[in-house]
Amino acid sequence: MKDTELVPKEENKVLFSIENEVYFKETIYNIISGFFLYIILVYGYNGNIPIWVLVGKIFAIGLVISGFFSLLRYIKKNEKMKLIFNQSNIINSSENQTIKLDISSINEVYRLIDFTIMGSSFLNKIKRYNKVSKLILYIILPIIIIPSILTAILQFIIYKRRFKFYDYLILIGKNENEFIKIQIPLQDEEEQKNLEAYCKEYLNTDINQLERLWFIPEKKIQGK
């Protein structure tokens, strides 16, 4: 490789690992979103409260509580929450879930801005938007952007780095339940170089040249 050499090839050797920043970011985002949604529902409706508002409040409280528990687990198990890059697979270890994505199974690689992906982060699954879903998302985008901005500010304070919005590198396997999200650029410049070199060598992808998308494209039907 021209810019960054990883290590000599051996049978599924661990090349490098990075902190799973996505887990922390989405945990903070869910806590902020829960607070934000609850405040809107509390101060936006007086008198007779519709049942859907009550359901919304319960959902918001659930987001905050689950977010705090996830944050505690993150603080306790930070060293275990890593993305491990091997020559034949990438392993995402977070909480009690471990995703092992074989290089040969990766069919799609995208770079997404974080607003749309964060809006469905709590679903923990790939979300492909059709035209109707995109229209709805554009309408509620201001609600999604505010928690995203607050999350970016907290990252700026906690990590003591330049304030900016970060993208998501999305790696999708043959089974859409198996995917990995990586927040880029990484904090550590050396780790960022390793990631770029890895994607070029093993995924034949220059992540710096990927188009920044708002949405994951709809899945193409084979034969069409």
Q: Rounded to an integer, what is the distance from CA 222 to the centroid of its chain?
A: 27
Single-letter amino acid code for the residue at 135: L
Give yes or no for a contact between 88 and 192, defined as CB atoms under 8 angstroms apart. Answer: no
Model confidence pLDDT, tens digit, residues 113-126: 876 554 444 445 67
pTM over 0.85: no
7 inside domain:
no
Model confidence pLDDT, tens digit, residues 61-113: 888 898 888 888 777 765 567 889 998 999 887 655 678 889 999 988 999 88
Total of domains in the chain: 1
Task: Please state, in angstroms and rounded to a whole number, the distance separating the CA atoms of residues 41 and 51.
Answer: 12
8 inside domain:
no
194 inside domain:
yes
Mean pLDDT of the chain: 78
Domain that holds residue 111: 16-213
164 inside domain:
yes
Structure tokens at 81: 């929450």
2 inside domain:
no
218 inside domain:
no
Task: Please state, in angstroms and rounded to a whole number, the distance separating the CA atoms of residues 51 and 57.
Answer: 10
186 inside domain:
yes
Q: Rounded to an integer, what is the distance from CA 5 to the centroid of its chain?
A: 27
223 inside domain:
no
